[in-house]
Each structure stands twice: as C-alpha cells, then as structure tokens.
Structure 1
C-alpha cells in the first residue's frame, strides 16, 4: 500500500476552567466541535504546528508545552476500506492571549466549561472530553 497516514497536530488549550474548541467547517468532522489543528509541515515539530494552527484558525496565542496523546482518525469507504487516515498529536498549550475568532476552516471557536464538554450535549469529534481530561491531569 503506497498511501500513508498524514500527521496532524491539535491544540488543547485550557484556561480558568474552560477549554477552547473549534467547530469544523470541512470534512472530516464538518459541523462537529473539536480542537483547533491541522497538518504538520515538513521540518516542523507537532508542538510548533499545534501553536501555528491554533493562531491561524482561532486567533488565540498559546505556548505548546507537551504531548497529551496520539489519536488515529481513520475514515472508511462504502466497502469498509480506509478512505483517510490521520495521526493527530494532541498538544497541551498554555493560553497566552487573544479572543476566539474563527478563520481558515473553522466555522466557530469558543471557550467551553469543562462540565459542558463532559456532558456530551454539544456535537463533538471523538475523544474530545477524554483528551481534555488527560490534559487537565498533566497540568497538576
């Protein structure tokens, strides 16, 4: 198989009991809330990519601190074969400044209280609450 997974980075930004989420405009996960992020460029670390994508997509400035986890996102075609494959490096970032303003492929960006994310009452990508809780545990 000549196809390979694409590497992406997502920024997990936590501040004052809230987490920053972005609602995706484009597939995969169009219409769902998740972490801002995107492709890692050749020669760029996933830490740097998370901070860059965060600023490009939301206007938020944050300092990348450490890795939280890795997430495989594998889409399936009608026959059940893989149609897309991303390996996302979830990066915990310390909030520096800015207000969420959606840009690029983000339709909306906003801060959500931890409990609202855990409640599952907003349409989210897979593992958003789990990754948030892992990032919170790393801060302690």
Structure 2
C-alpha cells in the first residue's frame, strides 16, 4: 500500500427491525458482513458516493442522511500495512428495491437487528457500534 488512508462511505439502511448488510467478497474483510459501501471517488461527495455504492452492491435505492460516525480499518501482513480505510457511516432512508449482491458483495440481505447484536454472522469491526448510533438517531427522530 502506498500513500495515506483511502476514504470510503458506508450506507446504514434500516427497514423495520432489520438492517441492510452485505457479505464482503474481497479483501480486506472477505467473508465478513458489514454495511454496503466503498471508496469515495475524486470530486464525489460522501452522500453521492454512499448512494452510488449502495446501488452497485445491493440494487437498493435510498436517500442519504446525516453522518453517523466513522471507523478505521487497518490490516497488516507481516507488519506491513496492506489496507487502510477511513470509513464514514451515513444514515440512509430506504427507498426501493430488494437486495441482490452485486459489485464486490458475495451476498446481500436484510439482517434482523438482534442477529447483528448477537453476532450470529461474522461481522466487520465496528458494525454493532455504528448500528447502535443509527438506532439511537431513529429513536430520537
């Protein structure tokens, strides 16, 4: 890896008692479940990137809302940094569509909230924390 961390956006989409999640098909989190998202392209806003990545990975449409928080992913191999992402989580209001895995997602589905908090699926770092922030925001609305 060269340069600094890459900026990426995550879509946190709630629908009833479920959250939209994807299983990563590629490194660094291959096989783990997390929120749909990906790199922010040069000249692209976080809001635009999150909606684009959501559609590419799941086929679901939504409206971008406020930023919920951030998390970092740093992976090393033999002491060398192989991946470094700064991930910005955005609350998104569900629009239309049912999840179908696309782009670099191996699977996409609505996951019951309890399954996330009970770790019934192997999760990427920070998923439960960001989901808690989204639920608190929804409760306050």
When normalised by structure 1's length, the TM-score is 0.95
SS in 1 for 2:73: strand
4+ residue runs over 3 A deviation: none
Aligned to 1:15: 15
Task: Say if 2:57 is the partner of 1:61.
Answer: no
SS in 2 for 1:103: coil
Distance in 2 of aligned mates of 1:98 and 1:83: 35
Distance in 1 of aligned mates of 2:57 and 2:89: 16
Aligned to 1:129: 128
When normalised by structure 2's length, the TM-score is 0.94
Distance in 1 of aligned mates of 2:72 and 2:80: 15
1:76 CA drift (Å)? 1.1
Distance in 1 of aligned mates of 2:70 and 2:47: 12
Distance in 2 of aligned mates of 1:103 and 1:15: 20
SS in 2 for 1:116: helix
1:77 CA drift (Å)? 2.1
**Unaligned stretches of 5+ residues in structure 1:** none
Give the alignment of 1:1-140 within 5 angstroms.
3-78=3-78, 80-139=79-138, 140=140
Q: Cα deviations across residues 12-64 of structure 1 (Å, max 9, x unaligned)? A: 00011110000011101001110110110111111111111000110000000
Distance in 2 of aligned mates of 1:121 and 1:114: 10
Distance in 2 of aligned mates of 1:3 and 1:42: 15
Structural RMSD (CA) = 1.0
